[in-house]
C-alpha cells in the first residue's frame, strides 16, 4: 500500500500536509475519482474489511467500493499523511445506536481546529467535509443539516439522496463492522443484495445508477433515464463510472430482470 499511488489514483497533486484546505481537497478528489459501487455483490465476489484487499481493488484495479471500502481506504490515506482520524459507526435512517448497537455505515471524524465529519462512502452525500456542529450547511447547490441531542448526532442528507444517519462519537475499529459487512452483502432483505448501485460525483453534480435507472442531480434539477439495452448499460458503466465494460456485460441480464420486477412492484403498489 503506497500513499503516492493512491494520490495518483485520485489525481491529487497538492502537498500531503495536515491542513483543512488539504482535507477538503483530498475528500473532493477521492469522490470525483472513485465511484461508489456494490457490483461485486452481484458478481458473486465476497467483500472484505482487509485493507490490503481494499487498496488493491480501488487503487490498483481502478474499481469503486461501498462505505467500508471507501472510508476504510480514505482513513488509511489520511493517517498516512498525518491526520488525526477516528472511525465511527452510524445507522442509516435511524437514530444513533449505543456503543453495542448494530451499526451499518462507517464514517470518519477528523480533528483539526475543530472536529470535522468526513464521509466518502455514502454514495450521494456531501462532496466536502462538514464541521461537526449543529446547523445547516449549503454545499454547492445542495443543503445538509447536522442535529445533536445529548451524545447523539443525526446527519440529514439533501432531499434527492439517500436518507441520513444517526451516530455517536464512540470510536470503532474497521474489524468491528464484520457483522454489518456480512449481512449487507448476503441478506435477501438488504438493499445492496436487491439492486446494483453506482454513484459518482462530477463537477456538475451527482450521477446515480440503481439497477437500470440512471439519475442525474445538477443545478438544473433531477433527470432520469431508463436504460433498456445492454449497449447503453455498458456505455454508462464505462464512460460515466469509469468501470470495466466487461462487468456490465456479465451483469446486464440480472440487472434488467431486477428492473422489470421493480417496475411491476411499483405498478402493483399504485
Q: Give the pLDDT confidence score for residue 84 in this predicted structure.
A: 98
Cα(266)–Cα(246) distance, integer angstroms: 30
Give the CATH number, domain containing residue 231: 3.30.2140.10
Number of other CB atoms surrounding residue 68 within 10 Å: 23
Last-in-domain residue among 157, 181, 205: 181
Tens digit of each residue's pLDDT (9 = 90 or more) over 116-157: 999 999 999 999 999 999 999 998 899 999 999 999 999 999
Output the pLDDT for position 95.
84
Which of 124, 151, 181 corresponds to the end of one domain? Answer: 181
Q: 166 with 152: CB under 8 angstroms?
A: yes
Tally of domains within the chain:
2
The active-site residue out of 104, 119, 181, 199 is 119
Active site residue 198: no
- Which residue is listed with cell 467483500? 47
Catalytic annotation, pick one of 27, 105, 158, 199 = 105
Domain extent for 139: 3-181
Residue 234 lies in a domain: yes
* pLDDT score of 100: 61
Tell me, what's the pLDDT at 81?
A: 98
Q: Is the pTM of this model over 0.85?
A: yes
Check: CB of residue 58 under 8 Å from CB of residue 37: no
Residues 60 and 150 in one domain: yes
Q: Is residue 114 part of a domain?
A: yes
46 found inside a domain = yes
Considering the domain architecture, whether residues 66 and 148 belong to the same structural domain is answered as yes
Where does a domain end: 128, 151, 181?
A: 181
119 as an active site residue: the answer is: yes
The pLDDT, as a whole number, for residue 270 is 78
Q: Give a yes or no: residue 176 inside a domain.
A: yes
Burial of residue 156 (CB within 10 Å: 0-12, 13-18, 19+) is middle
Query: pLDDT below 70 — which residues of the chain?
Result: 98-102
208 with 175, same domain: the answer is no
Catalytic residue (one of 42, 67, 181, 199)? 67
Q: Domain containing 114 — which CATH number?
A: 3.30.2140.20
Active site residue 24: no
Amino acid at each position: 500500500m503506497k500513499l503516492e499511488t493512491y494520490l495518483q489514483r485520485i489525481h491529487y497533486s497538492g502537498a500531503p500536509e495536515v491542513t483543512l484546505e488539504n482535507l477538503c481537497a483530498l475528500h473532493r478528489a477521492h469522490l470525483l475519482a472513485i465511484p461508489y459501487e456494490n457490483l461485486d455483490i452481484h458478481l458473486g465476489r465476497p467483500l472484505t474489511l482487509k485493507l490490503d484487499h481494499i487498496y488493491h481493488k480501488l487503487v490498483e484495479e481502478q474499481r469503486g467500493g461501498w462505505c467500508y471500502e471507501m472510508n476504510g481506504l480514505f482513513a488509511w490515506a489520511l493517517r498516512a499523511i498525518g491526520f488525526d482520524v477516528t472511525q465511527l459507526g452510524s445507522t442509516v435512517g435511524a437514530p444513533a445506536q449505543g456503543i453495542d448497537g448494530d451499526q451499518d455505515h462507517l464514517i470518519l471524524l477528523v480533528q483539526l481546529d475543530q472536529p470535522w465529519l468526513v464521509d466518502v462512502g455514502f454514495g450521494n452525500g456531501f462532496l466536502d467535509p462538514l464541521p461537526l456542529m449543529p446547523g445547516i450547511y449549503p454545499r454547492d447547490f445542495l443543503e445538509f443539516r447536522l442535529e445533536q441531542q445529548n451524545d447523539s448526532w443525526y446527519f440529514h442528507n439533501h432531499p434527492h439522496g439517500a436518507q441520513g444517519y444517526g451516530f455517536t462519537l464512540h470510536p470503532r475499529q474497521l474489524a468491528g463492522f464484520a457483522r454489518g459487512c456480512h449481512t449487507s452483502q448476503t441478506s435477501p432483505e438488504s438493499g445492496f443484495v436487491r439492486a446494483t448501485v453506482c454513484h459518482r460525483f462530477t463537477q456538475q453534480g451527482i450521477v446515480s445508477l440503481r439497477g437500470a435507472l440512471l439519475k442525474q442531480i445538477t443545478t438544473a434539477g433531477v433527470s432520469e433515464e431508463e436504460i433498456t439495452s445492454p449497449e447503453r448499460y455498458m456505455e454508462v458503466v464505462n464512460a460515466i463510472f469509469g468501470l470495466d465494460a466487461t462487468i456490465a456485460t456479465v451483469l446486464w441480464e440480472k440487472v434488467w430482470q431486477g428492473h422489470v420486477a421493480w417496475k411491476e412492484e411499483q405498478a402493483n403498489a399504485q
